[in-house]
Amino acid sequence: MAERSEVVFVDGVRTPFGRAGEKGMYWQTRADDLIVKALIGLLERNPKLPQEQIDDVAIAAATQTGDQGLTLGRTVALLAGLPRTVPGYAIDRMCAGAMTSVTTVAGAIGLGMYDLAIAGGVEHMGHHPMGSGADPNPRFVAEKLVGMDALSMGATAERIHDRFPELTKERADHFAMNSQIKLAAAYKAGYIQPDLIPVAIKSEQGWGLAERDEAPRPETTMEGLATLKTPFRPHGRVTAGNSSGLNDGATVSLIASAEAARQYGLGAKMRLVSFAFAGVEPEIMGIGPIPSTEKALKKAGLSIGDIGLFELNEAFAVQVLSFLNHFGIADDDPRVNLWGGAIAIGHPLASSGVRLMIQLARQFEMHPGVRYGLTAMCIGLGQGGSVIWENPHFDGKKN
């Protein structure tokens, strides 16, 4: 019987995230080409990886059709030039697709069935808008299993404002503005660029190169945010300014057993401690990371106070605020989303989970005084996902 293994995050990269739609930089780029480009970039910067030893390739997409269909993990492996002996498969857990890709292969590694695996996600929301082609079962509404609001993520965010009146629009706008400011500062400091894989893009002007995220609005102000429309409800509180946008992009990571990482000289940027997923009322899906984090903490034997860095997906500002409010963390706590989040960077659905991990891994390297970090996100139809990581650079000294 195989022995259980320690699981490590060896490395992760991503494409720059683009704005979805005809004016976005990836409009004429295929979704599968985005993830293939990211995977090739990952392989190139890990030349010691014995590609024939990769046990599986798990690639997520929330809309698995067209250029995001055809068993992505397998097709991407072939297109990226991996040996034909390397298998692959596709995953869907809506926004937590890439996160689930990581935890799924991590489970196989932990059981000793795998040694090396590729995990990631892609979403081209320009080609495949959220929910496109879906045919929700009429029983959902007829039997009142979920309310119609549950199928509108913006409406679920408005419900969080309803449930927690102290989470005001002003607080949400302020959090959103800070996300833009922090990302701009991170770009200026050169923290984001090392993990971006440039992508050749075609437009009416000819060929170009995508080297930076397209969505950031560093000029954002509170005054500007206050004027934005509330599309999900008249006189609501959720706007385009305090929400993540519609985006295209891909992320990919190399997950391994600690022994395999040592054997092949790959190194380890993070060690997996625990993970958990949880379900909540679909109509208020944004609170999902609260119970999933509580479960992950319990499995790890840790408390929220042990977490020194948080990478929380900013689907909506109010969703992150509900998490912080629950755990008694200040809106502007310096441990949270050091370099901004999805409000500024973008949220190409199934790819975002690994984007959180990429940033946390880089921050671990820069903060050896931090031992544990958390990546967490809300998930459509009422779920949350959380992964707790340990910093291999931890030196026991406070930052």
Domains of the chain: 146-191+273-389 (3.40.47.10)
pLDDT in tens, 229-248: 999 999 999 999 999 999 99
Among residues 45, 36, 56, 34, which one has the least CA distance to residue 12? 45
Q: pTM higher than 0.95, yes or no?
A: yes
DSSP per-residue codes, 135-203? ---THHHHTTSS-GGGG-HHHHHHHHHHH-TTS-HHHHHHHHHHHHHHHHHHHHHTSSGGGB--EEEEE
Under DSSP, is residue 328 helix (H, G, I), strand (E, B) or coil? coil
User: Is the model more confident about 141 or about 333?
Assistant: 333
Segment 156-164 shows an average pLDDT of: 95
User: Is the model more confident about 398 or about 352?
Assistant: 352
- The pLDDT of residue 149 is 75
Query: Does residue 127 carry a catalytic annotation?
Result: no
Does residue 305 surpass a pLDDT of 60? yes
- The pLDDT of residue 1 is 63
Catalytic residue among 95, 127, 128, 367: 95
pLDDT in tens, 173-192: 999 999 999 999 999 999 99
Catalytic residue among 127, 347, 367, 393: 347
- φ, ψ (nearest 5 deg) of residue 376: -150, 155
Query: Does residue 128 carry a catalytic annotation?
Result: no
Catalytic residue among 124, 127, 161, 378: 378
H/E segment holding residue 273: strand 270-279
Query: Does residue 235 carry a catalytic annotation?
Result: no
- The pLDDT of residue 361 is 98
- Please list, residue by residue across 106-118, b when 16 or more beta carbons sit within 10 angstroms of its beta carbon and e when fewer do: bebbbeeebbbbb
Provide the pLDDT confidence category of residue 203 given band limits of 50, 70 and 90.
confident
Q: What is the CA radius of gyration of the chain?
A: 20
Among residues 265, 257, 272, 268, which one has the least CA distance to residue 54? 257
Distance CA 84, CA 320 (A): 42
Provide the pLDDT confidence category of residue 78 given band limits of 50, 70 and 90.
very high
Sequence-distant (6+) residues with CB within 8 A of 303 are 297
